[in-house]
Amino acid sequence: MNNFFLLIYLLFIVGCTQEKPSQEAVIVNKNYAEPLINVNKKLIEKESRDIDNWLKRHQLTAENTGTGLRIAIIKKGNGNLAKLGQMATINYKISLLDGTLCYDSKKSGPETFLIGQDHVESGLHEGIQKMHVGDKCLMIMPPHLAHGLLGDDKKIPPLSCIIYEVELLQIKEAQ
C-alpha cells in the first residue's frame, strides 16, 4: 500500500513540474495551423458549391442547416416530429453526387437507431430531427457529416458528399 501512495506522489510531482511549451513551439504550431485552416475552408467551400450545383441541376430547394447539411422534404407525413433520444426506424438509399447508388434498405431492410447516440452519420442524426413520421426527404451531406476523410472502406470514397434519401417509418421512446 505504501508503494501505491509513493507512486501517486511521484506522478503528482512529475506532472506538476513539467515545463510549459516554449514560445517557439507555440509559434511553430500557429505556422502550421493557419495553412491547414485555410485548406479546410477551401474544401468546405468547394463541397458547398458541389451540393448547391447538384440541387440546382435537380431543380430542388433545400434548407441549409448551417452545418452544411441540406434537407429537402419530398413527401410530407402526418406523424410526430422525431426527437433526440428516440428510436427511429427508416428506409433509405445512399448515393454519391454522381448518382452512384451505394446502399439501399430494400436489400438490407429498414434501419433502427437511437437519435443522437448510435453509430450512424452525424448528418443523419441532425436531419432526422427535422422529420415527422411519414416524411420522405433528401439529405445532402458534406463529408464531415457523412464518412469524412476516409470514406467507409466499402462503397463510399474518401471526402465524398452523399445523398441520403430517407423515409421516417416510425419513432418510439427508447427503453
Per-residue pLDDT of 127-168, as tens digits, reads 999 999 999 999 999 999 999 989 998 999 999 999 999 999
Residue 80 lies in a domain: yes
C-alpha cell at 165: 434519401
Number of structural domains in the chain: 1
99: nearest Cα among 166, 160, 168, 142: 160
Domain of 147 in residue numbering reads as 51-173
Residue 160's nearest CA partner among 66, 47, 58 is 47
pTM tops 0.75: yes
Residue 10 has pLDDT above 60, yes or no: no
pLDDT score at 105: 96
Nearest-angstrom CA–CA distance, 99 and 121: 19
Q: Is the pLDDT of residue 31 over 80?
A: no
Q: Tell me the C-alpha distance between 133 and 15, whole Å.
A: 53
Q: How far apart are CA 44 and CA 144, in angstroms?
A: 9
The reply to whether 3 falls in a domain is no
C-alpha cell at 114: 437511437
Domain annotation covers residue 146? yes
| Greater pLDDT, 157 or 13 | 157
Q: Which residues pair with 111 in a beta bridge?
A: 90
| pLDDT, tens digit (0-9, with 9 covering 90-100), for 43-81 | 889 999 999 999 999 999 999 999 999 999 999 999 999
When pLDDT is cut at 50, 70 and 90, the band that residue 96 belongs to is very high
The CATH number of whichever domain residue 165 belongs to comes to 3.10.50.40
Closest CA to 65 of 172, 144, 174, 157: 144
The verdict on residue 42 lying in a domain is: no
pLDDT of 29 higher than 80: no
Condensed to tens digits (0 to 9), the pLDDT of residues 118-130 reads 889 999 999 999 9
CB atoms within 10 A of CB 93: 16
